[in-house]
Each structure stands twice: as C-alpha cells, then as structure tokens.
Structure 1
Amino acid sequence: MPCVYGRISSQFKFPKIIHIIGTNGKGTTGRFLATALYKKGYRVGHYTSPHILQFNERVWFNGSDVAMECLESTHKKLLALLTQDEAESLSYFEYTTLLAMLYYSDKSDFVVLEAGLGGEHDATAVFANDLTLVTPIAMDHEAFLGSDIESIAKTKLNAAQKAVIIAKQRYKVVYDIMNELQKEKGLQTFRVEELLDEKDRQNILKIAEHEILATYLQTNLALAIAALKYFKIEYSVEDFYNAKLFGRLSVLEKNIIVDVGHNVLAAESISESLKNNKYTLVYNSYKDKNYKEILSVLKPIIETVELIDVYNARVEESGYLQQTLEDLGINYSKFKKLETEKKYLVFGSFSVVEAFLKVYRG
C-alpha cells in the first residue's frame, strides 16, 4: 500500500485529515465529528468500516452515504491510475481506502478517516494527517496486533503523526506509551479532558439526554468535541443531533436493540448501559474472539442466548460456543424467528447484526 500510494499520491488533493485510531468507538466518534463539521458548513467526508448491509455505508459525505453510481465512477478512475500488478497487490480494505480517499480528495474541507483494525501498518496510516484521535484501547484482534495491551497500544499509537488527542483510557500503559512517543516524534499531545471545560461537559449531558446516548457513546462524543476545540471551531448542541452511527446500541423497535460491538470492552460498556434489564441475546462469534469472557460480562443482562447462523470462515464452530454457554450456566437455543414478547439484544459483530437484519427485514 505505501509504495502504490506513493506512486499515485500526486492525484490526491487533500484537505485537513483527522485520523481515528483505537479499539472501540472509532465509528461513532467519527460520525459525531463529521456531522458537527458538516452542520457548521464544512464539506466533510467520513470513511468508516466495515459496512453492515451495503458497501457505500463505508463512504459518507455531507450527511449521507455516497451513491453507488458515484463510487463506481471513482472505481474506474482509480483503476486507470493503477497498474494491473498494483491493483492485484492491494487487499480489499486497502483498495477500498484508496477508493474513498480518491472520491474525497478534491471536494472536501475535512476528511474523518477511521483506521481498520491496526495502527501504524493500517492502510489509512499512509495519508498525512493534521490530527490523530485515540479512542479507548483494549484487547482485540490479538492475532494481528499483539497479545497484550502494551503491544496493541504501541502498534496503534505509532500511527500518530503530528498532533494527538487521547480519550480517557482504562490502562495506564497507554498513557505511558503516548508520553514516550511524544518525546520520540515531537508530537503535540492532549488528553481529552485538557481541552474540555465545564460548558462542554454540560453540553455533553444535554446532547446525551436528547439523543439517549449510552455512557460509552458520551466518551466518543467528548473526543469529537475536543477535536472541534483543537481546531477552534465553535459548536452548538444541535450540531450533534441525529449523528449517531447505526449499529451502536441502536433501537430497532422497543424490544430490539442491535450493537456491532465484538470485544470485551464493548461487552462491558453494553452491560453497564443496559443493567437492571434482561435480554434474549442473539449471538455468534469469530474464532479469534474471547467469547467466554464476553459472555461472562454479558451474563447479568442475559435471559437466554439464541445462536444465529453466520456464514463466514472466521466463525467459531457451534459446538465450542455451546460448550462455553453450558460451562457458564447460560440457557441457549438456535435463533429461528422473532417473538414479540421477548426483549432482544443483538450483539457479536457486524456479521451477526447483518445476519439478524436479513431476517428482521425479510
């Protein structure tokens, strides 16, 4: 990716780029920020991943997903810039990233660019950015990023280039690594709380009340507001209304909540947000996820689990999941249909939510 982009970089004319890295909350942080910038009159692109149902969910511009026809036109333009060997050498995510950035390159004031699952080696890291936002970092994608928080944090934080705002972190080592990088790379760094004042904190509560935001979404909102403060852009609470990204504790109906979270930190946030309630959990898991701990965290809010079929090579064999549920003392069955008297929480990954929505929407 770096070599390919290096050869064609002159074809990209970029505005200010805000790069978002971290484990949880990248998508919602980006959508909060992009929506507020758009409502302030800026031309804004927001690149996020993965999509749930339609590919163009990844490429948002000025308030809506970009039409597939526009992306097809950009696809042809990009292919004309690449040699056949270059095109074939790129992964799906790398090509998609170049496609989105080519679309944004000559029509945006800001691009909010969400990293995939990595940091310094992520396709999004090849673009020079003006600001890096760091969402909470936790264990996830260990096979790719490292087996402990320190390794994961280093991989992600090494993507920082210039100025950094870091959200409130659970693990002290994340701050320690950020301090080391600040000295090594001459970074300008801020903790989110350093950029927010009492008025900002009150505004976050007002927005959260209006939008019915869970606690973890308020953390993401705070990071987005801190970015506006960094750029000295004034905002109002209304700028963040209707900005929540779908699939983040989204209420489909009064008895159905869906969330694309898929790691322990996400499970902890959801369990806290939905405490004192009991749900039928529609679930499945990839093999590389710590699903035993995830289910343990969710157990206090689980009435029963219904395992939904997900057709993906990464999905765990049902027998292992069933044995884990038995070990945890959680009743389970196979998901077959929706029942109006049940309260559902759909959680486990984008793939789980996608499979559920296909049933839900018929």
Structure 2
Amino acid sequence: MHLTEFLAKKGAEYAPFDPSRAVRIFERFKEDFLPIFSPKVIHIVGTNGKGSTGRMIARGLKNVMHFTSPHLFTINERFYLNGVNIQMSVLEDTHQVLIQKPYMQEASYFEYLTFLCLFLSKECEYLVLEAGLGGEFDSTNVLKDKISVFTQIGLDHCEILGESLEQIATTKLNSMGKVAFLGIQRYTQILPIAQNIAKSKGSTLYTLSHTLLPPFAMPEFLLENLTLASKVLDFLGAGYELGEIAKIDLQGRMQKYSPHITLDVGHNPDGARAVAREFEGKKITLVYNAYKQKDIFEVLSILSPIIKEVQIIAVEDERIVQREELEKILKNLDIKYSNFEAIKENEETLVFGSFSVVREFLERV
C-alpha cells in the first residue's frame, strides 16, 4: 500500500488517545531501525509559533532535518532537509521499509509520520522536531535526550489537551528535557509552572522576556519567535546571520502573497490577537472559515475592530463549522459578511484560519 493510501486509512491525524502506544512502538522501532541515532534533538512544543520558530532554527544549522505539521498540499512539506522538502519518492521508499514490520500498523497518522522522520534523520547532525498538539504524551516526546524549546502557550485544542490554561501548560511543559528555553509568554501563569517543572526534573531553564532588534520590519509575533530561535542557535554555537534565518520559507505565517493579500494560518484567540496588532488602525476584508471546535466568537470578536467585511470561503471538510452557525455569530457581532468569490483588486485582504482555509484559497486563486 502506498504511503498516501496508508495514511488515508488512518483517518483523523490525531487518533483516539493512547499515551502508551507511541512509546510501545518506539521500543521495537528503535531495535529494528535505530541502533545508532546521532542527531542532536531540538524539540519544539507550544500552542502558537512552533512552525516558524522551528524553521528559523533549522535555517541556522547545517545537516539538519525539520519535522513540522500540518501540511498545506503534500505530505513531504513536513520533512525539510537542509533547505528543501524531501521528495515524495524518498518518503515512499522509506514507508515501504517501515511497513514491513507488523507493529508499525498500530501507529496513528501522526505517530507514523514521526517514525518516518526519525528514520530519515538518523544520520543528520540535528533534528528540529516539532510536537503535534501536546507535549508530554506526544509521539515526538519518545526522544528524551533533547533540548526543549517552548513557544507561546495558550488555549487551543481544549477538547484534547484540557479545559484550563494550567492543564494545557502542564501537559506541554512536562515534556521538558535537561536543557530548555521558554519563549516570551502572554500569560503570567506559564513561567512559574515552567520553573516548578524544571526544578522537579533538574533541568536548566532559560527564559526570555525581551525581543531582539529586528533585522527588518516584521510582525511582532515573528520577532518573538526569531528571538527564541536565536537564543537556541547561540546555545548550540551555530554561526548564522539573523536576517537570513528570519526569512522563513513556510507558507501562511503572515505571508505576503501579494502587496494587498496576507495569508495566516492562525486559528485561535492568541493568533487573532497577534494579527489584530499588525493591522491596527486599518480596515480589511477577512476571508475566513473555521473548524467547529474553535472559539469562533472570541476570534471574530478580537478581529472585529479591523474587519470591514468577512467573506466566507466554503471548505469541504467535515470539521468545518456549519454555515448557519457562522452566520449567526457574525450577525451577533454585527459584522458584514458575504460569500468569497474573488479577490478585489487593490483591497487589503487577510486570509485567516486553519491550514484548510489557506489551502482552499490558494487552490482557487
């Protein structure tokens, strides 16, 4: 079975949770495929900013794999080796090796991709390994010898990770290795939780409170991520140019698609706050849709001061909120809305939402 078919049969990316499954598979996987695993692991955990922070770190290193998620169009976007995405044919060949072991059938969608990454990176000098939703029980946390990098932690995926910020932060921060970096945080509760966990684990924790001077004009949240990435690179003794690592090549991170069109895959309240700061004082057209489990009312409330009109882009996905529910929220917030049909020339437009929203926009435009 081809890789794409195999993954399609897995269903949802984040399968019913079993904290022991990845650990159990990893023990056998290690015996069969990783007798020697040489990379220095930089484990990226957080709610917002994992992808951009990880990519900035990877751009400052040599002989490095960056494993990130999710992808916009093709699965190989998640596997970035020395500046380019790994070819699909290489992923397919690796899959055909791993799948010979019956125990690999047990892995969930995301777990299987994690093991693909470990196999492909085993001879690299560095592995920048981005967690999925969680931390402590994430499949990427099977590796214990690592440097932990915590980006901004906030409320998201509450249906999986917990209803309170303290619960979510504890789950993520419990993945802490012996050396850890805590990026600039919006919520004051995060720091004491991190300090207590570091003390209990005997970890060395470096915390950030101020940003660097930017090498060029950039959004505040990306500058925070750049500051965090640079601190990690300094610790590793990497030689890098700040302006070069800041030029990330990931789509959808406040990406200027054209002079008047910005793409951002933020989909939670903290992501909305970051975007609202960048467009403060302006009125924009918002091309938008969202998954039904997201806090849509809160996101649109935060963005409302900058919105001239919402254009609802239809997305074929069972997780997308019902159109009637989205319209009800927009009416309650007194936000003008219409269907997305085409971009209006020379009009400031923000495409904001999940990866599926940005992907749908790019496929149409």
Q: Give the structure-1-normalised TM-score.
A: 0.91
**Whole-Å separation in 1 of the counterparts to 2:259 and 2:346:** 11
Cα gap change, 1:285/1:241 in structure 2, threshold over 3 Å: closer, same or farther? Answer: closer
Q: Deviations over 1:139-192 (max 9, x none)?
A: 100001111110000010111121110011122221111111112111111103
Give 1:244 deviation, angstroms. 4.3
Cα gap change, 1:286/1:241 in structure 2, threshold over 3 Å: closer, same or farther? Answer: closer
Q: Which residue of structure 1 aligns with residue 212 of structure 2?
A: 201
Give 1:301 deviation, angstroms. 1.2
Q: Which residue of structure 2 aligns with residue 325 of structure 1?
A: 330
AA in 2 matched with 1:4: I
Q: Which of 75, 82, 90 does residue 95 from structure 2 map onto? A: 75
Structure 2 matches for 1:182-221, cutoff 5 A? 182-193=198-209, 201-202=212-213, 205-206=214-215, 209=216, 212-221=217-226
Structure 2 matches for 1:121-160, cutoff 5 A? 121-160=137-176
Give 1:241 deviation, angstroms. 5.0
Q: Deviations over 1:291-320 (max 9, x none)?
A: 101001111111100111111111111111
AA in 2 matched with 1:134: F
2:60 and 2:238 in contact (8 A); partners too: no
RMSD (Å) for aligned C-alpha atoms = 1.4
Q: Which residue of structure 2 aligns with residue 90 of structure 1?
A: 107
Q: Deviations over 1:48-92 (max 9, x none)?
A: 000011111100000011111111111112112x21xx2332111
Q: Deviations over 1:26-56 (max 9, x none)?
A: 000001110011xxxx201000000011111
Q: Which residue of structure 1 aligns with residue 194 of structure 2?
A: 178
Q: Which of 236, 245, 251 does residue 240 from structure 1 map onto? A: 245
* Structure 1, gaps ≥5 residues long: none
SS of residue in 2 equivalent to 1:172: coil
SS of residue in 1 equivalent to 2:332: helix
Asked if residue 64 in structure 1 is aligned to residue 84 in structure 2, the reply is: yes
AA in 2 matched with 1:44: V
1:19 and 1:129 in contact (8 A); partners too: no
Asked if residue 117 in structure 1 is aligned to residue 144 in structure 2, the reply is: no
Cα gap change, 1:190/1:277 in structure 2, threshold over 3 Å: closer, same or farther? Answer: same
Q: Deviations over 1:192-236 (max 9, x none)?
A: 35xx9xxx934xx22xx1xx4200000000010010122233433
Q: Which residue of structure 2 aligns with residue 2 of structure 1?
A: 23
Q: Which residue of structure 1 aligns with residue 11 of structure 2?
A: none
Asked if residue 103 in structure 1 is aligned to residue 120 in structure 2, the reply is: yes
Q: Which has the higher helix share?
A: 1
Give 1:130 deviation, angstroms. 2.2
Structure 2 matches for 1:239-258, cutoff 5 A? 239-258=244-263
* Structure 2, gaps ≥5 residues long: 1-21
| Identity across matched positions, percent | 38
Cα gap change, 1:299/1:238 in structure 2, threshold over 3 Å: closer, same or farther? Answer: closer
Q: Which residue of structure 2 aligns with residue 296 of structure 1?
A: 301
Structure 2 matches for 1:161-176, cutoff 5 A? 161-176=177-192
Q: Which of 230, 237, 259 does residue 235 from structure 2 map onto? A: 230
Q: Deviations over 1:104-145 (max 9, x none)?
A: 112x11010000111111111112332000001011000011
**Whole-Å separation in 1 of the counterparts to 2:108 and 2:219:** 35
Q: Give the structure-2-normalised TM-score.
A: 0.90
**Whole-Å separation in 2 of the counterparts to 1:5 and 1:226:** 31
**Whole-Å separation in 2 of the counterparts to 1:91 and 1:99:** 12
Aligned residues: 341
Q: Which residue of structure 2 aligns with residue 29 of structure 1?
A: 53
Give 1:14 deviation, angstroms. 3.2
